[in-house]
Amino acid sequence: MLDRYLTGNISRISPEAPVPVLEWGSEENRLGGAANVALNLAALGAVPVLCSVTGKDAESGFLSQLMEQEGLIQSGMVASGERVTTVKTRVIAGTQHLLRLDKEQTNELSNREASAFLSNTLELLASEKFDAMVFQDYNKGVLTEEVIKTLMGEAKQRKIPVAVDPKFRNFWCYQGADLFKPNLKEVNDALRGKYPPDEISLQSAARLMRQKLHNGLTIITLSERGVFLDDGVSGKIYPTQPRLVADVCGAGDTVISVAALAMAAGLDLDEIALLANLAGGQVVEKVGVVPVDKAQLQAELLQAAMHKA
């Protein structure tokens, strides 16, 4: 996705309708969606290969330019004349979000598009050694049931650990994921229940999901309450430290990035939870979608270790 920010100031109300007039200040494009996950992974020292589908339009050109500027590998990208590139345009006055405009196409990939995407992605998997695979699902049509099952099967065959940040449409397709990270709303929607953010309820929800998915680690993000982690043996809530929240956009991208790398590195539950909380909390203090700051994360991790000691 392309995240576009239109910023300015408001000093009057329009004479044409009871709406504020934004005096244009600046316009900025940033990498969003799965590209933000790739940015987070790169910021932490990994070498991500982003695999997705864009349109053949001006916005896909902007995405490509931004990826090139950030040094991201683009060999997994497929352009289709049948789709538009997803663009989220946020209109902001100071730090106040006024409006978001979504230009997108959420129908599933056509057979031709899916074939081209899978062929390209499978070729990449055969040509390089990967330490982890991250599925960042936004229900925009790329991760169809066929695509998910094919790539999950390939990862299992190649013994590549899989981390998943799901959405409602294909929530139950990620069978056998090593790490499964929905947020609490997605859990409630998928289980068609109401699970409050307490340990007993979340343990029950994790157990029900594991019965269907046969997944490994379950992480449920709880916004300002932190994260819940369950490894099938035990599960508990790890609270986050208080933060001055400016913008929650992109926090889920950061959490899945950190958790996936921590899992691939073999860290334990406490370490994964601490890193996820610190990284997710860090990015919500900043306006707009931004990747994690590695130096800040290291400093906060050291501070947390000293405090614990």
Torsions phi, psi for 255 (to 5 deg):
-65, -45
Q: Give the distance, in angstroms, between the CA of residue 284 and the centroid of all CA atoms in the same chain.
A: 14
Residues 303 and 281: their CA atoms lie apart, in Å, by 15
The structure tokens listed for 281 are 């909390």
Q: Give the distance, in angstroms, between the CA of residue 125 and the centroid of all CA atoms in the same chain.
A: 21
CA dihedral (268, 155, 131, 36) positive or negative = negative
Q: Which helix (H) or strand (E) holds 290?
A: none
> Parallel, antiparallel, or unpaired for β 77-80 and 179-180?
unpaired
> Parallel, antiparallel, or unpaired for β 217-221 and 227-230?
antiparallel
Residue 111 half-sphere exposure toward CB, CA atoms < 13 A? 0
9 bridge partner residues: 23
6 bridge partner residues: 27, 91
5 bridge partner residues: 28, 90
21 bridge partner residues: 12
What are the residue numbers of the active site? 253
- Judged by phi (left if over 0) then psi (alpha if -120 to 50, else beta), residue 48 lies in beta
Write down how long the chain is: 309
